[in-house]
Structure 1
Amino acid sequence: MARRRRGARTEIIGLDRLERRLAEIVPALEAAARAEIENAGGAMVADVRRNVRVDSGNLRTSVAPKYQKDGLQVEVGWRDQDDLYAVFHERGTRRTPANPTLIPALERAGQEFVARLRAEVRRRL
Structure 2
Amino acid sequence: MGIKLVGAKELEKALLKKAKLTAVKDTVRDCGAKLQSGVQDGAPVDTGTLKRSITLEIEEDGLKAVVGPHTEYAAYVEYGTRFMQAQPYVRPSYEEVKSEFKSKMEELVR
TM-score range, shorter chain: 0.7 to 0.9
TM-score between the two structures when normalised by the length of structure 2: 0.74
Residues 1-125 of structure 1 mapped to structure 2, 5 A cutoff: 29-79=20-70, 83-119=71-107, 121=108
% of aligned pairs identical?
A: 27
Amino acid at match of 1:56: T
Amino acid at match of 1:29: K
CA RMSD of aligned residues (A): 2.1
8 Å Cα contact 1:32/1:117 also seen in 2: no
Deviations 1:20-64 (A, max 9, x none): xxxxx7596211111000011111111111111110011112201
Larger radius of gyration: 1
How many residues in Structure 1 have an aligned counterpart in Structure 2?
95
Spell out structure 1 runs of 4+ moving beyond 4 A: 25-28
8 Å Cα contact 1:41/1:65 also seen in 2: yes
TM-score between the two structures when normalised by the length of structure 1: 0.66
Gaps of 5+ in 1: 1-24
Gaps of 5+ in 2: 1-15
